[in-house]
Structure 1
Amino acid sequence: MQFKNPEILYSFALLIIPLLVHLFQLQKFVKVPFTNVAFLQKIEQQTRKSSRIKKWIILANRMLLFSAIFFAFSQPYFSKKKETKKQHTFIYLDNSLSTNSEGEKGNLLHNATQEIIDYASEKDIYSLQTNDNFYSNISKIELKKVLQNLKVSSKKLNFNSIFFRIESQNKNKIKTLNKNILISDFQYNYKSKFTNVTPAFSAIKLTHSQKNNISIDSVFITNENLTNFIVNVVVKNQGQPQNNIPLAIFNDSKLISKQSFSIKKDADKIIQFSIQNQSNFIGKLTITFSDTFSFDNTLHFSLNTAKKINVLSIGNDADFLSKIYSKNEFNFTKSSAQNVNYNSILKQQTIILNELEYIPETLSKSIIEFSIKGGSLVIIPNENLNLNSYNSLLKKLNAGKISSKITDSLKITNINYNHPFFKNVFSKKVTNFQYPTIRNYYPISSKKSSKIVSFENKIPFISKINNNNYNVFYISSPINKKNSNFLKSPLIVPVFYNFGKLSYKQTQLFYRIDKENRIDIEENLTKDEILSISNSEISFIPIQQIFQNKVTITTKEQPTNAGFYSILRKKDTIQKLAFNYPKEESLLSFLDLNEIKKTNSNISIYSSIKDIFTEINNKNEVHWLWKWFLALAIVSLLLEILILKFYKL
Structure 2
Amino acid sequence: MQFKNPEILYFLALLIIPIIVHLFQLQKFVKTPFSNVAFLQKIVQQTRKSSRIKKWLILATRMLLFTAIIFAFSQPYFSNKTANQNQHNFIYLDNSLSTNTKGEKGNLLQIAAQEIIENVSEKDVYSLQTNSNFYDKITKTTLKKVLLETKETSKKVDLPTILLKFGNNTKNKTKALNKTILISDFQNTYKNEFTNVTPSFSAIKLTSSVKNNISIDSVFINNTNATNFTLNVLVKNQGEAQENIPIAIYNNKKLISKLTSSFEKDSQKNIEFKIQNQEEFSGKIVITFSDAFSFDNTFYFTFKNDQKINVLSIGKQADFLSKIYTKNEFNLTQTTVQNINYNSILKQQLIVLNEVENFTEILSKKIIEFSKNGGSVVIIPNQNLNIDSYNSLLQKLNSGKITSKKTDTLKITNINYKHPIFKNVFSKKVTNFQNPTVQNYFSISSKNRSTIISFENNIPFISQITNNKNNLYWIASSLDKKNSNFINSPLIVPVFYNFGKWSFRHPKLFYRIATENKIDIETAIEKDKVLKVANTKNSFIPLQQKFQNKVRITTKEQPLKSGFYSIVKGVDTIQKLAFNYPKEESLLNFMDVSELQKTNKNITISNSIADVFKKINKKNEVHWLWKWFLSLAIVSLLLEILILKFYKP
TM-score bracket, shorter-length normalisation = over 0.9
Query: Equivalent residues in 2 for 1:455-604 (5 A)?
Result: 455-604=455-604
Matched position secondary structure for 1:123: coil
Q: Given the superposition, is the C-alpha separation of residues 226 and 30 from structure 1 closer, same or farther in structure 2, using an over 3 Å criterion?
A: farther
Does structure 2 conserve the Cα–Cα contact (< 8 Å) formed by 1:371 and 1:470? yes
Q: Deviation per CA, 1:249-305, whole angstroms, max 9, x where unpaired?
A: 122122222211111111111222222365522211111111111111111112223
Query: Equivalent residues in 2 for 1:102-141 (5 A)?
Result: 102-141=102-141
How much does 1:192 deviate?
3.3
Match of residue 241 from structure 1:
241
Match of residue 5 from structure 1:
5
Does structure 2 conserve the Cα–Cα contact (< 8 Å) formed by 1:281 and 1:303? yes
Residue 81 (str. 1) matches residue 74 (str. 2)? no
Q: Could you tell me which runs of 5 or more consecutive residues in structure 2 were left unpaired when the two chains were aligned.
A: none
- RMSD between aligned residues: 2.3
Residue 366 (str. 1) matches residue 366 (str. 2)? yes
Corresponding letter in the other structure for 1:511: Y
Query: Equivalent residues in 2 for 1:269-308 (5 A)?
Result: 269-276=269-276, 278-308=278-308
How much does 1:221 deviate?
2.0
Q: Given the superposition, is the C-alpha separation of residues 233 and 354 from structure 1 closer, same or farther in structure 2, using an over 3 Å criterion?
A: same
Q: Deviation per CA, 1:33-83, whole angstroms, max 9, x where unpaired?
A: 999978988876665555444332222111111000111122211122333
Corresponding letter in the other structure for 1:611: D
How much does 1:615 deviate?
1.6
Matched position secondary structure for 1:102: coil
Q: State how far apart, in whole Å, the 1-side matches of 2:224 and 2:230 are.
A: 7
Match of residue 204 from structure 1:
204
Residue 20 (str. 1) matches residue 20 (str. 2)? yes
How much does 1:528 deviate?
1.4
Q: State how far apart, in whole Å, the 2-side matches of 1:554 and 1:368 are.
A: 25
Q: Given the superposition, is the C-alpha separation of residues 375 and 51 from structure 1 closer, same or farther in structure 2, using an over 3 Å criterion?
A: same
Q: Given the superposition, is the C-alpha separation of residues 370 and 538 from structure 1 closer, same or farther in structure 2, using an over 3 Å criterion?
A: same
Does structure 1 conserve the Cα–Cα contact (< 8 Å) formed by 2:382 and 2:478? yes
103-112 or 74-83: bigger deviation: 74-83
Match of residue 258 from structure 2:
258
Q: State how far apart, in whole Å, the 2-side matches of 1:306 and 1:636 are.
A: 100
Q: State how far apart, in whole Å, the 1-side matches of 2:554 and 2:287 are.
A: 31
Corresponding letter in the other structure for 1:606: S
Matched position secondary structure for 2:484: coil
Q: State how far apart, in whole Å, the 2-side matches of 1:535 and 1:34 are.
A: 121
126-135 or 62-71: bigger deviation: 126-135
Query: Equivalent residues in 2 for 1:620-639 (5 A)?
Result: 620-639=620-639
Q: Given the superposition, is the C-alpha separation of residues 647 and 486 from structure 1 closer, same or farther in structure 2, using an over 3 Å criterion?
A: same
Match of residue 228 from structure 1:
228
Does structure 2 conserve the Cα–Cα contact (< 8 Å) formed by 1:304 and 1:575? no
Q: State how far apart, in whole Å, the 2-side matches of 1:305 and 1:173 are.
A: 62
Matched position secondary structure for 1:403: strand
How much does 1:602 deviate?
2.6
How much does 1:402 deviate?
1.2
Match of residue 67 from structure 2:
67
547-556 or 2-11: bigger deviation: 2-11
Does structure 2 conserve the Cα–Cα contact (< 8 Å) formed by 1:226 and 1:279? no
Match of residue 91 from structure 1:
91
Match of residue 416 from structure 2:
416
Matched position secondary structure for 2:631: helix
How much does 1:24 deviate?
2.3
Q: State how far apart, in whole Å, the 2-side matches of 1:84 and 1:393 are.
A: 74
Matched position secondary structure for 2:153: coil
Match of residue 328 from structure 2:
328
Q: State how far apart, in whole Å, the 2-side matches of 1:259 and 1:338 are.
A: 58
How much does 1:480 deviate?
1.5
Residue 425 (str. 1) matches residue 425 (str. 2)? yes
Q: State how far apart, in whole Å, the 2-side matches of 1:571 and 1:191 are.
A: 46
How much does 1:473 deviate?
0.4
How much does 1:306 deviate?
4.3
Q: State how far apart, in whole Å, the 2-side matches of 1:522 and 1:555 are.
A: 17
Does structure 2 conserve the Cα–Cα contact (< 8 Å) formed by 1:505 and 1:518? yes
Matched position secondary structure for 1:155: coil
Q: State how far apart, in whole Å, the 2-side matches of 1:452 and 1:234 are.
A: 31
Q: State how far apart, in whole Å, the 2-side matches of 1:225 and 1:643 are.
A: 114
How much does 1:318 deviate?
2.5
Corresponding letter in the other structure for 1:518: K
Does structure 2 conserve the Cα–Cα contact (< 8 Å) formed by 1:517 and 1:555? yes
41-50 or 553-562: bigger deviation: 41-50
Q: Given the superposition, is the C-alpha separation of residues 10 and 46 from structure 1 closer, same or farther in structure 2, using an over 3 Å criterion?
A: same
Q: Deviation per CA, 1:297-325, whole angstroms, max 9, x where unpaired?
A: 11111222342211112222323323322
Corresponding letter in the other structure for 1:255: L
473-482 or 155-164: bigger deviation: 155-164
Does structure 1 conserve the Cα–Cα contact (< 8 Å) formed by 2:279 and 2:306? no
Q: Given the superposition, is the C-alpha separation of residues 237 and 359 from structure 1 closer, same or farther in structure 2, using an over 3 Å criterion?
A: same
Percent sequence identity over aligned pairs: 69
Does structure 2 conserve the Cα–Cα contact (< 8 Å) formed by 1:306 and 1:506? no
Does structure 2 conserve the Cα–Cα contact (< 8 Å) formed by 1:159 and 1:192? no
Residue 178 (str. 1) matches residue 178 (str. 2)? yes
Corresponding letter in the other structure for 2:188: Y
Matched position secondary structure for 2:194: coil
How much does 1:115 deviate?
1.4
Q: Given the superposition, is the C-alpha separation of residues 481 and 292 from structure 1 closer, same or farther in structure 2, using an over 3 Å criterion?
A: same
Does structure 2 conserve the Cα–Cα contact (< 8 Å) formed by 1:196 and 1:602? no
Q: State how far apart, in whole Å, the 2-side matches of 1:36 and 1:255 are.
A: 134
Q: State how far apart, in whole Å, the 2-side matches of 1:277 and 1:380 are.
A: 38
Q: Deviation per CA, 1:65-114, whole angstroms, max 9, x where unpaired?
A: 10001111222111223334332222221111111111111111111111
Does structure 2 conserve the Cα–Cα contact (< 8 Å) formed by 1:227 and 1:279? no
Q: State how far apart, in whole Å, the 2-side matches of 1:226 and 1:145 are.
A: 58
Does structure 1 conserve the Cα–Cα contact (< 8 Å) formed by 2:229 and 2:277? no
Matched position secondary structure for 1:189: helix
Match of residue 454 from structure 1:
454
Match of residue 390 from structure 1:
390
Match of residue 404 from structure 2:
404
Q: State how far apart, in whole Å, the 2-side matches of 1:24 and 1:189 are.
A: 81
Corresponding letter in the other structure for 1:250: Y
Matched position secondary structure for 1:106: coil
Does structure 2 conserve the Cα–Cα contact (< 8 Å) formed by 1:154 and 1:581? yes
Does structure 2 conserve the Cα–Cα contact (< 8 Å) formed by 1:461 and 1:476? yes
186-195 or 285-294: bigger deviation: 186-195
Matched position secondary structure for 1:281: strand
How much does 1:628 deviate?
1.0
Alignment: residue pair count: 649
How much does 1:118 deviate?
1.4
Q: Given the superposition, is the C-alpha separation of residues 403 and 524 from structure 1 closer, same or farther in structure 2, using an over 3 Å criterion?
A: same
Corresponding letter in the other structure for 2:232: N
Does structure 2 conserve the Cα–Cα contact (< 8 Å) formed by 1:160 and 1:192? no
